[in-house]
């Protein structure tokens, strides 16, 4: 029988009960309104220790306070804040209440239930993103010595607004209630009694049977949750009931990499599991995100008839950097190279000026033969007289050298330059540039575009260039989690990245470029931007100074395309004033904690005042669109 508190009940002259959210052996959970915070919604967790006298209850409360103290220090955007702990009289009994922030969203249990209703489950891509979004949160907790103890699909919520997974219902809080109940009844049992918290199937065997918890206990629960999301089946149906080892269904279409990672996290022996959340992040980001490749089709005839080589439409860059004639695919690279050198010498000795021109062209060919061993037609099959000047050959050699020094893939680089060239000169799209004098001006423009790309890339770090050409959405999800740890959203991150990207490529503004080759440069900029934020170069968390003085000023100098980000933990119904002084080419953004009530976005409006609607970390970004360095002064004032 439910004996919970009825709706509209006032607790401690402050909290109004709206409805009961859940009930367990250790207490109940309510949604309530806090009249001291303008009726803001919150969560009340009720604990009713089986303690009769007031002195015993006081000691119980002290035990709670002592054990829960570390929970108050948690500051992570994916963990609801623990606000306070208090006791009050409810009927004839004293009760303890723990107050937490309310997170609006849908649990993964409910999401899975909805999918199963239409015959679907979570995909590998979704589960990888889920793991990479939750693992940094667990790493944060574990570094503070906190074990959640109860990771299940019920206790992870997709927050409305930013769709980030949020951990709720800490098992370590439940353990406090069990300890309190035991403390005064049989204190001696505290050293011998197993404090069992965690659900069978989601908690490892040593936690259920012996009460032993470590960091990999949470990893076990996370992997079990992932398997349930992938299969739609509860752990009972995925475990060998005798040895409690996990067996994924053979028909489950996931990569062998992900399968190995999950089964390692679920190993029966704790020493066989990954030692930390960070270790899992590392192997997960290094593994392939692609699912198992389906069986290939067998072609009946293995012998294809020989056909004449087709005319190939080659990019402008390739047309001037590749071979001038079609090479014989039967010749080895070494034999072909030596033969060409020998012929070059004969031409130079026997043909005078004509040999010098031919030699220059053949040198260019030999240099580029190392780039592409595959035969390829360059301009057309019609014979033509080469007219590339010394200056042009020198320019192309320099472009090739700079590209190689950056370690850039040749095909990707050419595709980027081609696309920019065609966007600027649309009438040239897919046209073949010849080596004739008539096309010299177009070849020069193509080279200018290539040099522009190289100059933008030479400002990037070696780390960001390492994987350019292969960045994916999965990696962007990882980057989002990294900035979330700074209380920044992807919105603020992308403001800073866009500033640098559009400074280098202004014509890309308002274009769809993410999935094009040039979008890889934007992705590479994310890596360097995050590094600068983490180092504190372009980022600051405004805390004590703003709260104590009620105002804060920051004066900075921005290079072309550069930006700064600030975060401040503010309360709903506070009135603030924000003023940005500086050039009109400065853009100001003010984002709310959930992103649902943003105030300014990439705005040339440099002043705002008003009352805040949400509580949490507000983000302020200042980005320069000026072509030269400029100064600014940002002032944030709390009015009341």
Of 240, 206, 246, nearest to 224 by C-alpha is 246
User: Lowest-pLDDT range, 196-205, 440-449, 505-514, 621-630?
Assistant: 196-205
Asked if residue 430 belongs to a domain, the reply is: yes
DSSP H stretches of helix in 144-214: 171-185, 205-210
What does the pLDDT average to over 152-166? 92
Best CA proximity match to 554, nearest among 505, 621, 616: 621
Q: Tell me, yes or no, whether 89 and 112 share the same domain.
A: no
The whole-angstrom separation of Cα 558 and Cα 538 is 10
Q: Per mean pLDDT, which range of 1-10, 256-265, 369-378, 379-388 is the poorest?
A: 369-378
My answer on whether 169 and 275 are in the same domain is: yes
Q: Are residues 332 and 203 in the same domain?
A: no
Residue 36: which region, alpha, beta or left (left: phi > 0; alpha: psi -120 to 50)? alpha
Residues 192 and 280 in one domain: yes
Instruction: Clarify whether residues 279 and 399 are in a common domain.
Output: no
Residue 494 has pLDDT above 90, yes or no: yes
Q: Which residue has the higher pLDDT, 182 or 308?
A: 182
Owning domain of residue 633: 539-638
Let me know if residue 494 belongs to a domain: no
What was the pLDDT predicted at 477?
Answer: 85
Of the three residues 457, 482, 497, the one that is the final residue of a domain is: 457
Q: Is the pLDDT of residue 295 over 90?
A: no
CA-nearest of 469, 517, 513, 507 to 494 is 513
* 132 and 172 fall within a common domain: yes
pTM tops 0.95, yes or no: no
Last residue of a domain, one of 389, 422, 457: 457
Is the pLDDT higher at 568 or at 93? 568
Per the prediction, the chain carries an average pLDDT of: 79
Question: In CATH, what number is assigned to the domain containing residue 259?
Answer: 1.10.510.10
- The structure tokens listed for 95 are 């009760």
pLDDT attached to residue 380: 30
Residues 118 and 254 grouped into a single domain: yes
Q: Where are the alpha helices (DSSP H) in 33-123?
A: 54-68, 108-116
> Is residue 355 within a helix (H) or strand (E), and if so which, with residue range?
helix 353-369
Same domain, 127 and 77: no
For residue 310, being part of any structural domain is answered with no
Distance CA(580)–CA(624), nearest Å, equals: 12
Residue 518: alpha-carbon gap to chain centroid: 20
List the single range of 114-128, 252-266, 308-322, 420-434 with lowest mean pLDDT. 308-322
Tokens of residue 151, six digits: 């990771």
| Contact present, 483 and 530 (Cβ < 8 Å) | yes
Instruction: Name the token pair of 105.
Output: 């969203």
For position 63, what pLDDT does the model report?
64
Q: Quote the CA–CA distance of 519 and 522 in Å, as a whole number.
A: 5
Strand order in the sheet with 10-11: 10-11, 15-24, 27-34, 40-47, 93-101, 82-90
Confidence of residue 179 (pLDDT cuts 50, 70, 90): low
Is 477 within the bounds of a domain? Answer: no
**Which structure tokens are listed for 142?**
């574990």
Q: Which of 93-102, 109-118, 145-154, 185-194 has the lowest mean pLDDT?
A: 185-194
Give strand pairing partners of 15: 11, 34
Residue 89 has a pLDDT of 76
Residues 58 and 119 in one domain: no
Joined together, the tokens standing for residue 213 give 């918890």
Pairing of strands 40-47, 93-101: antiparallel
pLDDT exceeds cutoff 70 at 604: yes
Do 255 and 321 lie in one domain? The reply is: no
Is the pLDDT at 137 greater than 70, yes or no?
yes
Residue 300 lies in a domain: no
Q: How many helices (H) and strands (E) does the chain have?
A: 19, 18
> Which pLDDT band, with edges at 50, 70 and 90, does 114 fall under?
very high
CATH number at residue 64: 3.30.200.20
Question: Which pLDDT value is given to residue 182?
Answer: 53
Domain boundary among 406, 425, 457: 457
Do 34 and 178 belong to one domain?
no
Asked if residue 519 is part of any domain, the answer here is no
Which SS3 state, helix, strand or coil, does residue 346 take? helix
Output the pLDDT for position 610.
Answer: 93
Least Cα distance to 35 among 548, 596, 573, 568 occurs for 573
Mean pLDDT of 391-404: 91
The yes-or-no verdict on residue 386 having pLDDT over 60 is no
Residue 528 within any structural domain of the chain: no
In this structure, the answer to whether residues 110 and 97 fall within a common structural domain is no
Task: Provide the number of structural domains found in the chain.
Answer: 4
- Identify which of 87, 123, 108, 100 has the alpha carbon closest to the alpha carbon of residue 11: 87
Flag whether 250 is in a domain: yes
């Amino acid at each position: 029988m439910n004996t919970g508190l009825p709706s509209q009940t006032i607790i401690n002259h402050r909290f109004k009960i709206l409805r009961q959210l859940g009930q367990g052996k250790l207490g109940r959970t309510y949604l309530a309104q806090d009249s001291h915070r303008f009726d803001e919604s919150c969560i009340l967790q009720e604990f009713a220790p089986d303690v009769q006298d007031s002195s015993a209850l006081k000691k119980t409360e002290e035990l709670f306070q002592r054990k829960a103290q570390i929970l108050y220090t948690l500051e992570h955007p994916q963990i609801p804040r623990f606000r306070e702990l208090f006791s009050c009289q409810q009927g004839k009994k004293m009760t303890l209440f723990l107050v937490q922030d309310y997170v609006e969203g849908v649990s993964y249990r409910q999401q899975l239930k909805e999918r199963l209703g239409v015959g679907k489950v979570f995909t590998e891509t979704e589960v990888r993103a889920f793991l990479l979004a939750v693992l940094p949160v667990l790493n944060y907790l574990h570094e503070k010595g906190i074990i959640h103890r109860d990771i299940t699909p019920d206790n992870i919520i997709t927050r409305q607004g930013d769709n980030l997974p949020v951990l709720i219902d800490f098992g370590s809080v439940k353990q406090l209630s069990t300890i309190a109940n035991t403390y005064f009844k049989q204190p001696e049992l505290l050293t011998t009694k197993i404090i069992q918290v965690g659900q069978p199937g989601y908690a490892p065997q040593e936690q259920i049977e012996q009460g032993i918890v470590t960091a990999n206990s949470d990893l076990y629960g996370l992997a079990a949750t992932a398997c349930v999301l992938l299969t739609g089946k509860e752990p009972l149906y995925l475990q060998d009931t005798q040895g409690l080892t996990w067996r994924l269904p053979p028909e489950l279409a996931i990569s062998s990499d992900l399968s190995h990672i999950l089964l390692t996290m679920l190993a029966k022996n704790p020493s066989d599991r990954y030692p930390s959340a960070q270790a899992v992040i590392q192997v997960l980001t290094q593994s392939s995100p692609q699912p198992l490749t389906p069986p290939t089709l067998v072609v009946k005839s293995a012998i294809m008839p020989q056909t004449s080589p087709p005319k190939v439409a080659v990019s402008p860059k390739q047309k001037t950097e590749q071979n001038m004639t079609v090479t014989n695919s039967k010749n080895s690279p070494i034999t072909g190279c030596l033969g060409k050198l020998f012929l070059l010498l004969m031409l130079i000795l026997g043909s005078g000026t004509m040999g010098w021109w031919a030699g220059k062209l053949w040198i260019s060919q030999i240099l580029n033969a190392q780039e592409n061993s595959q035969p390829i037609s360059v301009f057309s099959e019609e014979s033509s007289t080469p007219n590339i000047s010394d200056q042009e050959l020198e320019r192309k050699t320099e472009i090739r050298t700079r590209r190689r020094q950056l370690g850039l893939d040749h095909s990707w680089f050419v595709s980027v330059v081609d696309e920019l060239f065609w966007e600027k000169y649309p009438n040239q799209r897919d046209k073949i540039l010849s080596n004739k004098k008539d096309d010299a001006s177009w070849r020069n423009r193509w080279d200018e575009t290539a040099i522009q790309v190289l100059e933008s890339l030479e400002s990037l770090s070696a780390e960001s260039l390492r994987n350019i050409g292969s960045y994916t959405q999965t990696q962007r999800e990882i980057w989002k989690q990294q900035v979330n740890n700074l209380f920044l959203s992807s919105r603020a991150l992308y403001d800073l990245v866009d500033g640098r990207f559009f400074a280098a490529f202004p014509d890309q503004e308002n274009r769809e470029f993410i999935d094009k080759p040039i979008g890889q440069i934007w992705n590479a900029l994310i890596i360097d931007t995050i590094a600068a934020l983490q180092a504190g170069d372009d980022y600051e968390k405004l805390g004590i100074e703003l709260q104590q003085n009620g105002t804060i000023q920051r004066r900075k100098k921005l290079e072309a395309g550069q930006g700064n980000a600030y975060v401040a933990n503010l309360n709903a119904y506070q009135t603030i004033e924000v003023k940005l002084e500086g050039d009109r080419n400065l853009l100001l953004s003010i984002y709310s904690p959930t992103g649902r009530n943003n105030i300014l976005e990439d705005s040339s409006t440099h002043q705002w005042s008003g009352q805040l609607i949400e509580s949490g970390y507000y983000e302020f970004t200042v980005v320069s669109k000026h072509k030269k360095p400029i100064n600014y002064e940002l002032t944030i004032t709390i009015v009341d």
